[in-house]
Structure 1
Amino acid sequence: MWIIVAALVGGVALLSYNDVSTDVTSDDAIYAERILRETEHGNLIAQKTPQSFAGQIETIFAVQDAVLSIADENRGIPFDRPRELSDLYQARAGLCFDRSRAIEKILSSLGFSVRHAFVASTRGTGSPLRSFLTPKTQSHAVTEVKTDRGWLVIDSNRRWIGLTEGSKPVDLAALRETKAQQDWDPRVKDPMSPMLSEPFTYLFGLYSRHGRFYPPYMPVPDVDWGQIRYNLTD
């Protein structure tokens, strides 16, 4: 019995050690301000979460634009290296997993509640579990942000957010059910990612399956365990 208990304790300790922190550090705050100022969105710095839904949407569009503008080159930060706001700022490049992290950190610094989503295609596997376990399954990293009218999905590669023409926020759950049959808000500049219009599954709190995005860079999935609860309640 003690062997089982020891194994369980060891497993929990290992997973906790590999937990991805979502805290906004003092360094994050500095670079959030720098990114916003350099992309002409400095007016957001002094404010916290806007009280009106319209103000929240304006801020979400601005933060997405800031990150896509500062990291406009499609080149991922290498494995086994830090990928926080300062790193993205200095690289001036990133891929979906880098940009989504930046979007989340800046929105968090402005007082929003956010959650990270690992999205995997199920077109070729026909199964959510198989998609998560199959290497090189097509995947994407996006963000959901909480507004006064509900959670809203933000793409990390395109200037697209889940906001309908009637100002209804759309989250991943709704997007998967409706198959994207929506008229989007006129301020949405880019078409939705094709992957989101096909069968997909998603998992909140999963940053990577390989463990090489965040310290300690071990072959254990990078996960924020605090966000896992969203998979059980939504």
Structure 2
Amino acid sequence: MIKAVIIDDEINARELLEKTLHRYFPNKFNIAEKCASVDAGVLAIKKHEPELVFLDIQMPEKNGFELFKYFENINFEVIFTTAFNQFAIRAIKRSALDYLLKPINKLDLADAIKRFEARNKESFAQKKLSLLLENLNVNDQNVSKIAFPTVEGFELIHANQVLYCKAESNYCCVKKIDGCTNVITKTLKYVEEILPPASFKRIHKSYVINLNFVVRYHKANKEVELTNGEKLPVSFRKEEDFINAILQNH
């Protein structure tokens, strides 16, 4: 069984999540403790040593992100639960961590648990949570690193190393300035959402490019040329937005 701790200041949310887990995942979860605050959650985690923590973000005294400063080593996985806060969600996505929007949908919950079970027990929990805190502490336009999900786990890449991203069915290829390509197990739409919007622009249904590496735009051919010499198509629908973004970026 998966030993878990639930941390949420709302009693109804705690009870509902526990009931949902027991109803749809019978005999899979042992809820060691349900906590109403970060401080109580810290004590519960140190006492029970759970494999998984369901952690609310918005709580009155301390938000969920403050929990991690009480641990020198993170040896548990986290699934965040939240009702809003787009900046927090963007940071969570960039760090390859899972989150659930309230009210929690059982299908989303099932997907998050499936991903948890698929991860290697020697997961990169420490790195992912350290990256989350790093991403929360930087300006949203200047993200230092992004954790891109891969088949093996995830790849840490600086946003300024990404030349462009290309859609490959339900996957995505990230082309870096060093010429290497990483296959990401997410769609281009997902990747577009976690990239800094000031530097990255969708130019075609299949491409998102880093505006900092644009050399020129061939208006007649509707092609953008990048610093590595590659030429990528710009769709008619995206052309005006792309040109405006280039002018604003420079």
Q: Give TM class, smaller chain.
A: under 0.3
Higher strand share: 2
TM-score (norm 1): 0.28
Of structures 1 and 2, the larger Rg is shown by 2
